[in-house]
Amino acid sequence: MQAAMPQSQPPDDAHLVERFRAGDGRAFGELVARWQQPLFRLVWRFVKNDADAKDIVQAAFVRAWANAAGFRADSSFRTWIYRIAANLALNHVRDRGRWREAAVAPDELPTEPTGVARLVEAESARRLRAAVETLPPKQRLVVELRVNEGLSFREVGEVAGCSEDAAKANFHHAIKRLRAGMTEGGEP
């Protein structure tokens, strides 16, 4: 009778980081394959174009590679690489001086107005999108990380460079601001 083979599970990030730090370059490749898409989506929401998002994600991974020895074992690779990419994205948007202007142009938005309900939905989405763009950088980052990336508030704090409580406070103020923005625009 054959012994049941243990199911092979993909190595976790910590294991891959250890392998990479021991000199296994393929382990870093696995980390890239694992995290490049979520990172790209996060960065893209800030910079709103492929070329810049791609550059920033690539730069984030190169910095992670170059600074692998400085990676703290008590934090996760995920929060570490998110932090690097988020800093680069925020700096990029700030340097381009288009924090408030980074909103997607109306003709780029997916709109299929086939009826009144669709129009109302599209208007509501437009207003919400505009409200998000007016959030201060840190509140915006906290909302993105929490709502769209599913990070815990502790992880959000690690990425945003603040405490868990400060991350919750930023989240509270961001939501309050978004609700006010939606109300000011008039309910559909």
Partner 1 sequence: MNPRTGAPCATVAEQLAAWADGGLQGGAARQVAEHVRDCPTCAAEVADIRNLLGGLRDLATTDAPVRDPAFWQAMAAEISAQTQVVRPLRRSVGVPALAFAGMALAAALALFFVRGPTATAPRDGADAGSRSVAVADAGSAAPSVVRAAARTPAALRAPAADDPGETDPALLEDLGGFDDDPLDDIDELGDAELEALSRALGQGA
Q: Which residues bind partner 1 (CB under 8 A)?
A: 21, 25, 28-29, 32-33, 36-37, 40-41, 44-45, 50-51, 53-55, 57-63, 65-72, 75, 80, 83-84, 87-88, 104, 109-110, 124-125, 128-129, 132, 143, 146-148, 152-153, 168-169, 171-172, 175-176, 178-179, 182
Smallest gap from residue 21 Cβ to partner 1 (A): 8
* Identity of the residue, 16 or 178, whose beta carbon is nearer to partner 1 in the bound complex: 178
Smallest gap from residue 9 Cβ to partner 1 (A): 22
* Identity of the residue, 16 or 61, whose beta carbon is nearer to partner 1 in the bound complex: 61
Smallest gap from residue 183 Cβ to partner 1 (A): 10
* Identity of the residue, 2 or 175, whose beta carbon is nearer to partner 1 in the bound complex: 175
How far apart CA 174 and CA 135 sit, in angstroms, is 7
The answer to whether the beta carbons of residues 60 and 39 sit under 8 Å apart is yes
Smallest gap from residue 88 Cβ to partner 1 (A): 7
* Identity of the residue, 1 or 66, whose beta carbon is nearer to partner 1 in the bound complex: 66
Spatial CB neighbours of 62, under 8 Å, sequence gap ≥ 6: none
How far apart CA 104 and CA 20 sit, in angstroms, is 38
* Identity of the residue, 54 or 138, whose beta carbon is nearer to partner 1 in the bound complex: 54
* Amino acid identity, position 45: R
Smallest gap from residue 153 Cβ to partner 1 (A): 5
Spatial CB neighbours of 161, under 8 Å, sequence gap ≥ 6: 83
Q: In terms of Cα–Cα distance, which of 134, 113, 109 is closest to 185? A: 134
| DSSP-assigned letters across all residues of 110-156 | -----SHHHHHHHHHHHHHHHHHHTS-HHHHHHHIIIIIT---HHHH
